[in-house]
A and B are shown apart, each in its own frame.
Chain A
Amino acid sequence: MTAISTSGLTKRFRGGQLAVDHIDLAVPLGSVYGFLGPNGSGKTTTIRMLLGLAYPTSGTASLLGVPMPDGATTVLHRVGSLVEGPAFYPFLAGADNLARYDAADRTADPATARARITEALDRVGLLAAAKKRYRHYSLGMKQRLAIAAGLLRPRELIILDEPTNGLDPQGTREVRALIRQIAADGTTVFVSSHLLAEVEQICTHVGVMRTGKLVFQGSLPELRRTGASRVSVQTADPEAAAKVLTGLGLADAQATEAGDAQAGDVQADDAQAGASAILGDASPEQVCAELVQAGIGVRGFAVVSPSLEDLFVGLTGEGFDVSG
């Protein structure tokens, strides 16, 4: 059984816009799954369908093995969620807001409500603000209260949509620590984000969305393996070096003249003359030896793996908010 699985899940809005386009999610139990993509790539719409708030145009979805949206009332109490920011009654205190959501849960035990609310508030560090009205909460407190609502009962799955949105670095760290803690308890965490750093630090698996399509899904190491390492050589004779690299059967050999900076290269002044190519299965030692053998004056030699950031930009296109 998977924590979340979808098959051909599709949502077309009334205007005809295809928000989610045949995605097949498979979120393993016990994983921390980062659901990535630029704003507007269909992450929130997918989450709304997973929770039964929106109905799919076609395709199926299931949570903890229970089909959605038909199984909403039988499975959702095992799932905590934070969707598109916190939402509470501004005129109620934090604890009263949690009591309100707990009262709506027909499977929650009223006898333990008070204890569970106190524990949830304690877990997110809001016990001191329990009696304070929600309207007087800071943004970070609101976010944490929303996570507390997700923790009112023991959950098997937590779905968090942009949990660090609008938080300062301190708040972001706190939320990240909380997610780690939840995951350590064995709860599967599905966290959507457009922040790369966040995902890189806490996730075991990732799914990457681009304009409604799931363009990658797998573990973090699997994602890293999709990037091709390049061999890069610094030399005064780039053209000859590139020829040698091509002769060795390396793909995409390119020569770079000194100062021949590519558009957007901020280090234009430092650009060294040289050549590069995709390493593939070749051994770097062999390549270096061949270059020297061919009479190329090798000033520097390196094997460069793409950064996670490069991989994401490659998958989602430009405009991906990696700095966040």
Chain B
Amino acid sequence: MSAGRFYASELRLVLLRRRNLLLLAVTAVFPLIIGIALRLAAPRPDGGNGPGPAFFNQLAGNGVFLTFIALSTLLVLVLPVVVAVVAGDSVAGEAGYGTLRYLLAVPAGRTRLLAVKYGVIVTFALCATFIVSAVALAAGAALFPVGPVTLLSGTTVSLAAGLLRLLFVTLYVTAAMAALGAIGLAISTLTEHAIGAIATLMILVVTSEVIDNVPQLHAAGPYLPTHWWLSFDSLLRVPVDTSTLLRGLLSFAVYAVLFGSFAWARFTSADVTS
């Protein structure tokens, strides 16, 4: 009961920060911009050789695809930044304000505090990804025709089935961001400078993405934290490419557990000197 109260307080604190609200607003604007830009570029209904992932060309036929385009575009940088800001700030921010020592003297309990922090990071990641999907879906419906969804494998499913797949895609992206959040939480326990933790996490993301794109380092790919992020397109095929999806989810789980454990070990054993 009381853990719920602490979680609610933490969530309010994160969601009412003007900076965080601004981030969510920015994430909401991006799908609109992408939608309008693609509408103006008047993609050819026959497919053509447009840029980006395979489903870019599906957009002309169905506005639902704007959601997948928006998610895959924002996954490169914008969504990771949004998650990095909240995750990097989580413990380091409290240390920076000095409020960490008072929370622990309350006593909030070190493990409990960390659990609440991570819970709110995941919630925030969920908000961000669902905002992208929701705004993209609305914009797609407004700008393009909407109907039964033709998947990447060529199969056409009903609109309802397509939307269900969209729900799973959004949840998959949330899982990817939750794993990133665990890495951010771990980094956040190492410093009392939130901005340092945020920057470190972003450097990590970009480095991982760069390595993933170097053919010579191909072997390292599957072990990178960002490698499986875009694999949600496996959900847009019939049959669903479950082995790829499961490997992605396994990667997220391993990263979350690994860095979550590191954050816990560090946070429950270190002196609070801030």
Binding site for A on B (CB under 8 A): 2-3, 5-6, 8-9, 13, 17-18, 97-99, 101-109, 112-113, 269, 271-273
CB neighbours of B13 from chain A (8 A): 89, 92, 100
A298 close to B (CB within 8 Å): no
CB neighbours of A87 from chain B (8 A): 97-99, 101-102
A83 in contact with B106 (CB, 8 Å): no
How far in angstroms is the closest Cβ of chain B from A107? 7
A54 in contact with B3 (CB, 8 Å): no
A88 in contact with B113 (CB, 8 Å): no
Partner of B101, one of A53, A72, A106: A53
Partner of A73, one of B9, B18, B107: B107
Q: How far is the CA of A100 from the CA of B105 in the complex (A)?
A: 13
Q: How far is the CA of A55 from the CA of B267 in the complex (A)?
A: 12
Partner of B105, one of A83, A90, A103: A83
CB neighbours of A52 from chain B (8 A): 104-105, 107
Closest to B271 in A: A54
A88 in contact with B272 (CB, 8 Å): no
Closest to B8 in A: A103
B107 in contact with A76 (CB, 8 Å): yes
A83 in contact with B101 (CB, 8 Å): yes
Closest to B95 in A: A87
| Residues of A in contact with B, size category | 20 to 34
CB neighbours of A55 from chain B (8 A): 269, 271
Q: How far is the CA of A51 from the CA of B272 in the complex (A)?
A: 11
Given A76-B106, A77-B107, A88-B97, answer yes or no on A104-B271 (Cβ-Cβ < 8 Å).
no
Q: How far is the CA of A79 from the CA of B102 in the complex (A)?
A: 12
CB neighbours of B273 from chain A (8 A): 48, 54
Q: How far is the CA of A105 from the CA of B105 in the complex (A)?
A: 9
B2 in contact with A110 (CB, 8 Å): yes
Interfacial residues of chain A within 81-113, with CB under 8 A of chain B in the complex: 81, 83-85, 87-92, 99-101, 103-108, 110
How far in angstroms is the closest Cβ of chain B from A84? 8
Instruction: State the majority secondary structure of interface residues on A.
Output: loop
CB neighbours of B8 from chain A (8 A): 103
A64 close to B (CB within 8 Å): no
CB neighbours of B106 from chain A (8 A): 76-77, 101, 104-105
B103 in contact with A106 (CB, 8 Å): no
How far in angstroms is the closest Cβ of chain B from A118? 18
Q: A89-B97, A110-B5 given; name 15 further pairs at CB < 8 Å.
A: A51-B101, A52-B107, A53-B105, A54-B271, A55-B269, A72-B104, A73-B109, A76-B105, A81-B102, A87-B98, A88-B97, A90-B97, A100-B9, A106-B3, A106-B112
A245 close to B (CB within 8 Å): no
Q: How far is the CA of A51 from the CA of B105 in the complex (A)?
A: 6
How far in angstroms is the closest Cβ of chain B from A191? 16
CB neighbours of A89 from chain B (8 A): 13, 97, 99
Given A48-B272, A76-B105, A87-B102, answer yes or no on A104-B17 (Cβ-Cβ < 8 Å).
no
Q: How far is the CA of A106 from the CA of B8 in the complex (A)?
A: 13
CB neighbours of B98 from chain A (8 A): 84-85, 87
A130 close to B (CB within 8 Å): no
Q: How far is the CA of A58 from the CA of B5 in the complex (A)?
A: 36
CB neighbours of B271 from chain A (8 A): 48, 53-55
List 20 A-B residue pairs with CB atoms under 8 Å apart, sorted by A's residue number.
Answer: A48-B272, A51-B101, A53-B271, A72-B107, A72-B109, A73-B107, A76-B107, A77-B106, A87-B102, A92-B13, A100-B9, A100-B99, A101-B103, A101-B106, A103-B6, A105-B106, A106-B3, A106-B109, A110-B2, A110-B5
Interfacial residues of chain A within 147-187, with CB under 8 A of chain B in the complex: 149
A105 in contact with B102 (CB, 8 Å): no
B6 in contact with A106 (CB, 8 Å): yes
Q: How far is the CA of A90 from the CA of B102 in the complex (A)?
A: 15
Q: How far is the CA of A34 from the CA of B13 in the complex (A)?
A: 37
How far in angstroms is the closest Cβ of chain B from A73? 5
CB neighbours of A101 from chain B (8 A): 102-103, 106
Interfacial residues of chain A within 130-153, with CB under 8 A of chain B in the complex: 149
How far in angstroms is the closest Cβ of chain A from B190? 14
CB neighbours of A84 from chain B (8 A): 98, 101
CB neighbours of A72 from chain B (8 A): 104, 107, 109
How far in angstroms is the closest Cβ of chain B from A256? 50
| 7 closest residue pairs by CB, A with B | A87-B98, A103-B9, A76-B107, A106-B2, A54-B271, A104-B108, A53-B272
CB neighbours of A107 from chain B (8 A): 2
Q: How far is the CA of A107 from the CA of B106 in the complex (A)?
A: 10
How far in angstroms is the closest Cβ of chain B from A111? 11
A104 in contact with B101 (CB, 8 Å): no
